[in-house]
Structure 1
Amino acid sequence: MAGLSGSRERRVLGGLTVRGRAFVAAGVTAVVCAVVLGQETLAGAGVLAVALPLASLAVVHLGRFDVHLSRSAEPSHVSVGGTAVVRLALTTTGRVPGRTLLLDDRVPYALGARPRMVLRGVGRHWRGDVTYAVRSDLRGHYETGPLLARAEDAFGLVQVVRRFRRTTTVVVRPRTVPLPDVPLGGGSGASGDDRPRASATGSTEDVMVREYRRGDDLRRVHWRSTARTGELMVRREEQPWQAHTTVLLDNRARAHTGDGAASSLEHAVVAAASVCTHLARRGYAVALADAEGRVLARATPGAGAGGLLDTLAGIDAVDVAHLTAPASVTSADPGVTVAVLGRPRPGDDVVLERIARASSSALALRLDVDRWAAPSRVASALASPVTSPAAPPSDAALPAGSDPGSVGAPPSSGVPRHGWRTAVAGPADPLAEVWVRLGARWVPDLAAAGGAR
C-alpha cells in the first residue's frame, strides 16, 4: 500500500487555461485597438476581459485548495488473468475551484486502459474513494500511477493541477498448475515427498550417541547404549534433517522460441512456478536459480512460495550461451535438483553431469521447443484437468530429432550416464501428466534427448 501523499510529494501547478489566455489576449488586443481608434467603450470591454481571468486566478490561489491522496492495490499480488482493484482515497482542503475534480491515473498498457474520472460536488474538507480494476494476461511487476488531479474554476479560465509522485505496485505472478505427488528421491533411501514430513518435528532417529567425554552432562547419558556397548555413551542431539531442493530455470534466450504468452520461455516459467509451489507445499526448502547460476530467491519450509513466484513474475530471458551450475547445488547439502530446460545447447551435458553428481536426486523437465505452437494450444494444455497419464505417442508421431525414449518409453536398465530422470514436454502436454512421467521414467541420456542444436 502506498501511504499518504503529503505536500513534499507533489508539485503544484496553477495557471490560466487556454480559454483564460484567450481572454487575456483578446482583452489586450481590444485595449490597444481602443487606444488607436479612440473608442472608450472598447477599452472598457478589453479591461474587463483581462481582469476576469486575473481575478479568477487570484481567487483560486487565495482559496488554498489542496488535495491529499493515499493509494493501495487489493490484492497487490495476483496470478495471470486475475483482477486487482486500485483504490484512491482523496481528501481536499480549502476552496475547490468549480467543485469538480478531474483525475487521470497512469497505468501500464498491459494492465488495461488509462483510467480518467470526473468527481462532481467536491467541496471544502471533502473525502471520497475512487476505485478501478486492472488485469493482465502477462506476468510482471507493474507500477500504477502517479495520479494527476485537476480542478478548474466555474468559468474555465483557471486550472489548478496536483501531480502526485507515489505509485502502487501490482505483481502479476505466473499461473501455477496443481501437481500430483511423485517420488522425487532424496538420498538415503527415502523419497523426497515423505522425508520432509517425517523430519519436520524431529524424532528418535534424530538422537545419536557418542562416547562420553570429560565435561559432558551426566543427564545426557544414554543408558541403553551404555549397557549394550559397555562404554559410557551420551546423547548427541542433531538438528532435524531438512529437505533441500533447487529449481533450475533455463531462461536463456537461445534455448527458447516464440514471443509473449505463447513462447516456450513462458511455458518454462509456468512449469518452474508450479514446481516451486508444489515443493514448498510439501515442506521443502526451495532455492530458485537461473541459467547463469544465480540463486534468485529462497523459500524456507512453511514460508510458502510467494517470494519465489514474485521473482518468477519479473524474470527475463538472458543472452548467455551456456548453463552454469548454481551455488545451491554445489554446496555441502544440495538435495534434490529439478531443472526446467529449453533446447539443449553445446556444452550443456558437461554442466548437467556436474549438477547430477552433486545432487542427491536430479530430475529434468525438458521442453521440446521445436514443437511449440499457438497461444490457444498452450492455454488449453495448461488448463487441462489432472487425469491419468496419456498414452505415449508413437515414434512416427514425433518430429524428427526428438527422442522417443524420453516420452513414455519403458524404463531403461541401469543408471543413466548423467544421472537424470527426464521427461519431455510439448505445448499440448498437460503439465501434471508430464510431472507424473517425470516421477516414473528413466531415460539413458539427457543430452541425447533432442541433440545439441
Structure 2
Amino acid sequence: MTTEALGSAAPVTERREWWETTAEHAARWLRGVIAVVRPAAWVLIAVAVVLWIAGATLGWWELTVAATVLTVLLALCALFLIGRTAYDVTLDLTRTRVVVGERAVGALTLSNSGTRAILPSRVVLPVGAGRGEFEVHRLAPGASAEELFAIPTTKRAVVEVGPVSVVRGDPLGLFERVHRKDEPVDLYVHPRTVLFEGQSLGFLRDLEGLPATDLSRDDVSFHALREYQPGDDLRHVHWKSTARTGTVMVRQYEETRRSHFVIGLSTHPGDYRDEDEFELAISAAGSLGLRALRDSQRVEVRVQERALPSATGKQFLDSLSGVVHSRPRAGGVVDLAGIVAATLPLASVVVLVCGSGVSATKLRAACARLPFGARTLAVVAETGAAPALRRIGDADVVTVGSLEQLPAALRKVLS
C-alpha cells in the first residue's frame, strides 16, 4: 500500500471512531432521558403532541391552549429534576443476624460533604420484597441526616437490605431521577433453635474415633513397629526397640476418623402438611446440627438439591436461613436418603428430618437406603402432635409437635 493510500485511510478511521463515540454518548444520554420519564409523563407528552398537531391542522385555538398548558406543566415538573443528589450514604445494621421474631434495627445516614446545599430528596430503602421511604430535607454543606428503621422478622429468610436509592422528582410523579448510592447488605433471619444439655447427641462416645484400615505415620491409634525409612518423623522413633534390635524402629499408626454426623433435611413440599411443619423441621435440624458442632463432630447437611455449608454454627444457620422448598421432581425423603448414601458413605450418625406427609412405609424405605453401619435417627415434625418414639427397622423415629419437645424426645432415644 502506498504512502498516499495510508494517509487517506487514517482520516476515515478517525471519523469512524468519532461517529462511534458520538453514537455511544447519544445512546447513553437517550437512555438517561428515558429512565427519568414515568409512564404518566409519556401519556401527557403524547396527548400534548396530538393536541399541537390537531390545533394547527383544524385551526381550533382551544386545542392549542390545552397543548400549551400541558407543555408548560411538563416543563415545570421537569425543573424539579435539577439539583445534586451527591450524598455520602452509610447503611448500618446493628446486627446482620437475628432469630425469627427478633427485631432488626438499622440506621441510614446521609451527609453533604460538598460546598453547596442539596435540595430536599426522597430516599428509598428496599427491604426484601418491600421498601421503606424517607423524606430528606434540605441539607446544608457539612450537614447530615440520620433515619432509624426497624425490620420485622416474622419469617426465616435472607433479606437483602438496599441498595439505597436517592430519588429526585416532581410532586405529580411525572419525572423521577434515581441514583443508587450504596451496596446492599444481607440480613440473615435464623430459624429458632433449642439447646441441649451436655452430650445429648453422644451416639459415639469414643474419643479416638472409628479406626480405619489405612495405615498412617501420624495419628492417635498405635498399630505396630517397623524399620525407619527416610522421611519418617524422628519423634516416632521407639528407642527401646532400637536399642534391643540395633535397627532404628518407628511407630506405625492406624488412621482414625472423627464422628461423622450427617443431617438429611427433606425440602420436598409433599413431605409436609403445611409451612409450619416445614419451619419446625428446619428448627429441629438446626438444633441437632448446633449440638453436634458443639460436640466437635464433623457435621454435613444435605437437602434434595445441594449440600448446605455447615463448618461452623454461624455458617450453618446462615445456610438454613435460605432454605426453601425443592422442586417436586427432586424427589422426597427416600431419594434424599439415596443421595446421602451415595455421597456420604462413611457417615457415623445419620439423622433424617421430614414432616408428617411421609408415611411409615416411605420412612422405612428411606432408612434402608442409608449407609450400612451408621446409627440412624428420624425426626418427624408434626405440629400439634404429642411427642412419640417408635422403631422402624433399625432406626429410632421421634415425632415432635413443637421445638421444645425435641430435647426430652432425644433423651428417650439415648436412655
Deviations 1:388-413 (A, max 9, x none): xxxxx8xxxx9xxxxx7x36xxxxxx
- Residue aligned with 1:272, SS: helix
- Which structure dedicates a bigger proportion of its chain to helix? 2
Rate the CA distance shift 1:211–1:418 in 2: closer, same or farther, 3 A. Answer: farther
Asked whether the equivalents of residues 65 and 95 of structure 1 are also in contact (C-alpha less than 8 Å), the reply is no
Contact 1:295 1:328 survives alignment (8 Å)? no
Q: Is the 8 A contact 2:237 2:251 kept in 1?
A: yes
**1:140-289 to 2 correspondence within 5 Å?**
140-151=157-168, 161-164=177-180, 166-180=183-197, 181-182=199-200, 184-186=202-204, 191=205, 205-212=220-227, 214-215=229-230, 217=232, 219=234, 220-224=236-240, 233-236=249-252, 241-258=257-274, 260=275, 262=276, 264-289=277-302
Pair 1:329–1:363, CA change in 2 (3 A):
farther
Do residues 362 (structure 1) and 380 (structure 2) align?
no
- Shift, 1:269, TM fit: 0.6
Q: CA RMSD in A?
A: 4.6
Matched, 1:306 2:314: yes
Distance of aligned partners of 1:227 and 1:123 in 2 relative to their CA distance in 1, 3 Å threshold: same
Shift in alpha-carbon separation, 1:213–1:101, aligned structure 2, 3 A = same
Alignment of 1:434-453 (within 5 A): 434-440=409-415
Deviation at 1:308, TM superposition (A): 1.6
Deviations 1:104-128 (A, max 9, x none): 323346xxx7422222231345444
Give the aligned residue type for 1:274.
S
Residue segments in structure 1 that go unaligned for 5+ positions in a row? 1-9, 39-45, 197-202, 379-392, 399-403, 408-415, 441-453
Q: Label 1:268 to 1:229 Cα distance change in 2 as closer, same or farther (>3 A).
A: farther
Inter-partner Cα distance in structure 1 for 2:74 and 2:143: 26
Post-superposition offset of 1:151? 3.8
Residue 277 of structure 1: CA displacement? Answer: 0.9
Q: Which amino acid aligns with 2:97?
A: H
Question: 2:124 maps to which residue?
Answer: 104
* C-alpha spacing 1:417/1:59, structure 2 compared with 1 (3 Å): closer
Question: 1:422 aligns to what?
Answer: 397
Counterparts of 1:136 and 1:271 in 2: how far apart (Å)?
A: 19
Q: Determine the C-alpha separation between the residues in 1 that align with 2:407 and 2:257.
A: 28
Instruction: Please give the alpha-carbon distance, in whole angstroms, between the structure 2 residues aligned to 1:95 and 1:159.
Output: 24
TM (norm. structure 2) is 0.67
Match of 1:344 in 2: 359
Q: Given residue 338 of structure 2, which amino acid in structure 1 is its aligned partner?
A: A
Cα offset, 1:327, TM superposition: 4.3
Please state if 1:78 is matched with 2:98. Answer: yes
Aligned equivalents of 2:189, 2:273: Cα separation in 1: 22
Give, as a single letter, the amino acid of the residue that structure 2 aligns with 1:182. Answer: S
Note the C-alpha offset of 1:56. 8.9
**Could you give the per-residue CA deviations for residues 116-171 of structure 1, whole angstroms, max 9, x where no partner exists?**
22222313454443331102121112223344423468x99996632428433222
Partner AA of 1:426 in structure 2: G
Q: Distance in 2 between matches of 1:87 and 1:53?
A: 36
Say which SS state the counterpart of residue 370 (structure 2) adopts: helix
- Aligned mates of 1:66, 1:419 — CA distance in 2: 67
- Normalised to the residue count of structure 1, the TM-score between the two structures is 0.62
Out of 308, 315, 335, the position equivalent to 1:297 is: 308
Q: State the distance in 2 between where 1:312 and 1:214 align.
A: 49
Q: Aligned with 2:263: secondary structure?
A: strand
Q: Judging changes above 3 Å, is the alpha-carbon distance between structure 1 residues 227 and 364 closer, same or farther for their aligned structure 2 residues?
A: farther
**1:80 partner letter:** V
Count of aligned pairs between the two proteins = 353
Report if the CA contact (8 A) 2:194-2:404 is conserved. no
Q: Is the 8 A contact 1:244 1:285 kept in 2?
A: yes
1:228–1:274 distance in 2 versus 1, CA, 3 Å: farther
Q: Secondary structure at the match of 1:106?
A: strand
Aligned CA distance change for structure 1 residues 80 and 352 (closer, same or farther; 3 Å): same
1:401: which partner in 2? none
Specify whether residues 159 and 306 from structure 1 end up closer, same or farther in structure 2 by C-alpha distance, changes over 3 A only. Answer: same
